[in-house]
Amino acid sequence: MGERQTFLQRGTPSPEACSVYFVVGDADELHDFHRSAGVEVTVAPGDRPYHLRDYTVRDADGYSLTFGHPLWNAGPPIPIERVDVPLRLEKRLAALLEDLAKHSA
């Protein structure tokens, strides 16, 4: 997983007054791990309006812990216009690009 960030909510330590939010590389992968370990999931994974996909669990002391990752493709799709560009490539690089194009289609 990628870079992690932690956000803390200020308050008196108690399950009713505090929560912790972790920004992780892949929230879905971590969710699967938590579920397989029997962790109580209190909010199912979902794409949120604040451009993060996240879910929430309750730890053994009753605290809410939320894990999420950024939604990089948030917003409307950007149209891409493709154009033919004549260029010279080294033969092995051209073959590699052709092979990648075949396998990504």
**Percentage of the chain modeled with pLDDT above 70:** 86
- Helices marked H in the chain — which ranges? 27-36, 91-104
Q: What is the pTM for the complete model shown?
A: 0.59
Residue/partner pairs of 50-55 with CB below 8 Å, 24 or more apart: 52/23, 53/27, 53/28, 54/21, 54/27, 55/27, 55/31
Instruction: Give me the residues of the chain with pLDDT under 50, please.
Output: 1
Structural domain for 19, as ranges: 5-70
How many domains, in total, are found in the chain?
Answer: 1
| pLDDT the model gives residue 9 | 66
CATH (domain of 16): 3.30.720.110
Tokens coding 69: 């990752």
48, part of any domain = yes
Local structure of 34: helix, strand or coil? helix
pLDDT in tens, 73-95: 766 777 888 878 777 778 888 88
Average pLDDT, the chain: 84
